[in-house]
Structure 1
Amino acid sequence: MYALNRTRAHLSALLIALGTIAGTPAAIAQSDARFAAFIQSLWPEAQKLGIARATFERETQSLSPDLGLPDLVNPGRPEKQRGEQAEFVQVPSDYLKETSLANLAAQGRALAAKHKDTLAAIEQRFGVPGSIVLAIWGRETNFGAAKLPHSALRALATQAYLGRRKDQFREEFLLALKMIQEGHITSAAMKSSWAGALGHPQILPSGFYKYAVDFDGDGKRDVWNSVPDALATIANHIRELGWQRGQRWSYEVKVPANVDCTIAQPEHSFAIGQWVQRGYAPLGRQPSAADLKAPASLLMPEGTYGPAFLTTKNYYALKDYNFSDLYVLFVGNVADRIAGGGAFVTPWAKTTQVRAADVEAMQTIMTTRGIYKDKVDGRAGMLTRSALGAYQKSNSLKLDCWPSTDVLRHMQSSR
C-alpha cells in the first residue's frame, strides 16, 4: 500500500509538470492529481478519528472530484452556479404552491394513520408532534421516495477541496469515513444530495452523530431504511434546536392597516396576547390560553403583500433546521393540514423578486449607510426586508419592505 502511495506521488509530480494548459487532458489529470494529494493530506486527521489506514485507502483510492457539482470555486474554469436552494431564490407564490402543499399533506395524513403508534411514542419522548415530523420528512425526501443521485464521499470530498465552505465539508468528509469505519453504512450505499445530506432526514454526517436515534431497538441508527429511526432522528434534531412542547409554530394574522413592516423581525417580540391587543387579529386558528402568554415576533414574508404571521420559538427551531422562512412556512402549513387544518387564509400576492445579485447590491449599499448589519448574501430575509423598509421610510418612498428594481435604482442614483 505504501509503495502504491509512492507511485501515486511520482505520477502526481509528472502530471503537474505536464499539465500546463487548462482544459487539456494533462491539465485535467493534474487537477485530479492535486485532488488525490489533498485527500492523502487528510490522513492524520482521519487517524485521530479512529479510522483505520486500510479503510482510508480503500475508500479514497478511486475518488475523483465531481466538477459538475454546484457551489464550487475552481481556478482556471468558469465559476459554477451556486447551489441555491429553491427556498432562497423563489417568491412565496412559486415556492408555496397549493398543489404541492395539498399533495404532501394528503400523503402525510395516510402515513400518520399508518405510523400512528410510532409517531405517538416519538411525540411522548421528544415533544415534537407527528404532523411536524411527517411534514419535514415529506419536504426533505418525499417520505423517503426521492432518489439521491450522488456518492456522499465523492460529493463531500469535492466540496472540501473546491467548495465555498471547505472547512465545514472537510470535517463532514472525515465523519463520513468514520461512519463507514464503524459499520453504519457502506460507501456504495451512502448516497446523498450535492451537499452530502444523507438518508430520509437529509442530515450531514455531523448531524448523524449528534441526532440519529435507534428508535426501533435493533441496535442500529438506520436513517436510510428504518422509518422509526428516521422519524425519531428528525424529532430529536428539532427538539435539540429548541422546540417547545405543546406550543404552535405560528399564527397567521391580519395586520393593522397602518402596519410598520420594519418591525417584522425577531428583535421586536411581545406576548401573542399583546400583539392581539395592538390590532393583530388571528385568522383561522385562535391562540390557546398558554400561547397568548408566549413571546412571538411578526413575520411578513412578502413585505406588506401577502400573509403575515406571529412566530413563536418553535418557528425558529424549524428555521434552524433549514434557514429559510419559506421552508418553515411550507412544512408548517403541511403539518397543519396533516393535523386537520387548511390553507393559508390570506393569498400570496404573486410578487416578483429581483435577482440575487441585485439584492446583494442593496445589502451592500445599506451596509455602507449603516442601515443593514447582517450578511451580504443576496437573500431577502427578515433583516434585509426590515432594512429596506427603513431605507424607504428615510427617503419618503412607498413603505412595503420588499426588494424591487425601483428601490435599487433609487439607492444607486443617490449614492
Structure 2
Amino acid sequence: MRILSRLAIALLSLSAVAGASSSVRADAAFDRWLAAQWPAAQAMGISRATFERETKGLEPDYSLPDLAIPGKPQKPGAQAEFVQTPAAYLSDKAIASYATRGRALAAQYRGQLDAIERRFGVPGSILLAIWARETSYGGAKLNYDALRVVATQAYVGRRKDEFRAEFLAALKILDEGHVRRAEMKSSWAGAMGLTQFMPTGYLKYGVDLDGDGTANIWTSVPEALAATASLLREEGWQPGKRWAYEIAVPAGFDCTEAEPAVTRPIAAWLKSGVKVADGRRIPPTAMKDPASIIMPAGPFGPVFLTPANYFALKNYNFADLYVLYVGHLADRIEDDRPFARDWQPIALVKTSDLEFMQKVLTREGLYAEKVDGKAGMKTRAALGAYQKARGLPLDCWPTQALLERMKGG
C-alpha cells in the first residue's frame, strides 16, 4: 500500500508537466517491481540477458484504461459488445462488406484454410470472420508496445495476477525469438496479432505451419488463423456442426428459459413448437445435440438455438453479440443472406440503472451473478422471473417502465 501511495504522489507531481501522460519516467517503485519478477522469469527459462535487455528503460503507461491508481480515477475500457444495441453492433451494411471481402480471402487462402480445417475441424469461414471482427482483416492499427501494456497492468492494473502471467509470457516470447520487440504490438488490453492473442494464449495455441520454429500471428495469415483454430478445438469446437440456428419461438414462449442453463436436445425444442427461421435444414445427426435458446434483444429481434459450437466461440470472446457477429459473418461469407428477422430499435437503460435492477433482483433471490450493469442472459432471465412473480407482462427486458416499477417497490 505504501508503494502505491508513493506512486500516486509521483503521478500528481508529474501531472503538471506538459506531455507527461504516457511518457512519465518510471519511478523507483516500478523499478523494484520489475526487479522482483526475475525469479519467476528465471524459473520459466528466460535468460538473464533477455530480462535485462527488455526491462531496461521500461516504463509504465499510466494512460491505459482499467488501472487502479489511488487518487487517480481511471476510465474502464469499454467493449462495443456491452455498450451498443444489437442493431448497431450487428450492422448489416458492415457485415455485408466484410462478407464480400471474406469471400475473396476464402478463395485466396483456400488451400491453407482447407488444411487447417482438416487438422483442427474449424471451417475457414469462422476463422475469417474472427479475423474480420478482431482486426478488420489486419487493417486495424495496433500501436501499443505489448510488453509495456502487460507490465503496466501487472503493476497497477485491476487484474494484477492475471497480467503478471501475461508479462512473463511476453518475456518468454521475446526470449525464444518469435518476434522482435519493435514488432510485438498489441491493443490497449495487450492482445496481439491478426486474431488477437494474449501472450499466454500465443504460447499455448500458436501453430508453426511452415516449420521455421515460430508461430507468426503478426504477419502470417495462415498461422494466425491456425492459432485461432487450435484454440477453438481446445475449447470444444465440434467439427461438422453449426454454431447456431436462427429460430422462431411459439406464442407464449417463456423467455426465462432463454439462457444457457436451460438445455434440451434440438429435437425436443422443435417438438415444443420452435421452428427454424433461416431456411437451414437441421440434419438428423444433430437432433440429439443439446442446445439452449438465446434472445439477445428480448422480443425485439432474432432468436437463436445455440448448440455446443456457440459456446466454443464464447471462449474466444464471452460477449453474445461478438459470437453472433462472428457466426453470422461466417454464414454470410458462405451464403450471403441476412437475418430472417430484423433487429428493432431499442433503448438501453443506463448502466447505473441496470446495476440498480440487478441489486433488486439479488435482494429478492432471483439473481446470483455479478452486479455489472450489463443486460446479459442471466440478468434478463432474472428480470423475467421478477415479472412473473408480480404478474407483469413477460418480456425479460430491462425497459424504463420496468425500472420505474422496481423503484416503486
Q: Given the two structures, how large is their TM-score scaled by the length of structure 2?
A: 0.93
Q: Deviations over 1:237-291 (max 9, x none)?
A: 1111100111101110111121110000112111112211111110121211112
Q: Deviations over 1:45-91 (max 9, x none)?
A: 111111222221221121111111111111121x2111121011111
**Structure 1 residues 31 and 63, CA gap change in structure 2 (3 angstroms):** closer
Choose the corresponding residue for 2:74, options 76, 80, 94: 80
Q: Following TM superposition, by how much is the alpha carbon of 1:21 offset from its aligned partner in structure 2, in angstroms? A: 7.4
- Which residue of structure 1 lines up, in the alignment, with residue 358 of structure 2? 363
Instruction: Find out whether 1:115 has 2:104 as its counterpart.
Output: no
- Which residue of structure 2 lines up, in the alignment, with residue 305 of structure 1? 300
2-structure distance, mates of 1:67, 1:22: 9
The AA in structure 1 aligned to 2:27 is D
Q: Deviations over 1:287-325 (max 9, x none)?
A: 111122211111100112211010010000001110011
Instruction: Find out whether 1:144 has 2:138 as its counterpart.
Output: yes
Count of residues in correspondence between the two structures: 399
Choose the corresponding residue for 2:182, options 182, 188, 192: 188
Q: Deviations over 1:115-135 (max 9, x none)?
A: 111111111111111111111
The AA in structure 2 aligned to 1:319 is K
Residues 65 and 77, structure 2, Cα contact 8 Å, conserved in 1: yes
Q: Counterparts in 2 of 1:4-403, with a 5 A limit?
A: 23-25=12-14, 32-77=27-72, 79-284=73-278, 285-403=280-398
Q: Answer with 214-223 or 386-395: which moved more.
A: 214-223
The AA in structure 1 aligned to 2:165 is E
- Helix, strand or coil for the counterpart of 2:298? strand
The AA in structure 2 aligned to 1:25 is L
Residues 68 and 74, structure 2, Cα contact 8 Å, conserved in 1: yes
**Structure 1 residues 313 and 21, CA gap change in structure 2 (3 angstroms):** closer
- Helix, strand or coil for the counterpart of 2:117? helix
Q: Following TM superposition, by how much is the alpha carbon of 1:160 offset from its aligned partner in structure 2, in angstroms? A: 0.9
Residues 305 and 400, structure 1, Cα contact 8 Å, conserved in 2: no
Q: Deviations over 1:101-148 (max 9, x none)?
A: 111111110000001111111111111111111111111111122210
2-structure distance, mates of 1:191, 1:21: 28
Q: Answer with 338-347 or 327-336: which moved more.
A: 338-347
2-structure distance, mates of 1:380, 1:232: 33
Residues 216 and 228, structure 1, Cα contact 8 Å, conserved in 2: no
Q: Following TM superposition, by how much is the alpha carbon of 1:396 offset from its aligned partner in structure 2, in angstroms? A: 2.1
Residues 160 and 173, structure 1, Cα contact 8 Å, conserved in 2: yes
Q: Deviations over 1:29-60 (max 9, x none)?
A: 79733222222221211111112222212211
Q: Answer with 199-208 or 264-273: which moved more.
A: 264-273
2-structure distance, mates of 1:405, 1:35: 46
1-structure distance, mates of 2:311, 2:156: 31
2-structure distance, mates of 1:40, 1:361: 44
1-structure distance, mates of 2:301, 2:182: 46
1-structure distance, mates of 2:9, 2:330: 56
2-structure distance, mates of 1:199, 1:30: 28
Residues 99 and 336, structure 2, Cα contact 8 Å, conserved in 1: no
- Measured on the aligned residues, the alpha-carbon RMSD in Å equals 2.0
1-structure distance, mates of 2:168, 2:249: 49
1-structure distance, mates of 2:318, 2:91: 19
**Structure 1 residues 31 and 410, CA gap change in structure 2 (3 angstroms):** farther
1-structure distance, mates of 2:9, 2:157: 23
Q: Which runs of 5+ in 2 are unaligned?
A: none
2-structure distance, mates of 1:94, 1:63: 40
The AA in structure 2 aligned to 1:35 is F
Q: Following TM superposition, by how much is the alpha carbon of 1:357 offset from its aligned partner in structure 2, in angstroms? A: 2.3
- Which residue of structure 2 lines up, in the alignment, with residue 413 of structure 1? 408
2-structure distance, mates of 1:55, 1:408: 56
Residues 269 and 296, structure 1, Cα contact 8 Å, conserved in 2: yes
The AA in structure 1 aligned to 2:378 is L
Q: Deviations over 1:122-177 (max 9, x none)?
A: 11111111111111111111112221010001111111112111110011011101
Identity across aligned pairs (percent)? 52
- Which residue of structure 2 lines up, in the alignment, with residue 5 of structure 1? none
Q: Which runs of 5+ in 1 are unaligned?
A: 1-12
Q: Given the two structures, how large is their TM-score scaled by the length of structure 1?
A: 0.92
- Which residue of structure 2 lines up, in the alignment, with residue 4 of structure 1? none
- Helix, strand or coil for the counterpart of 1:188? helix
1-structure distance, mates of 2:140, 2:313: 21
Q: Following TM superposition, by how much is the alpha carbon of 1:16 offset from its aligned partner in structure 2, in angstroms? A: 5.7
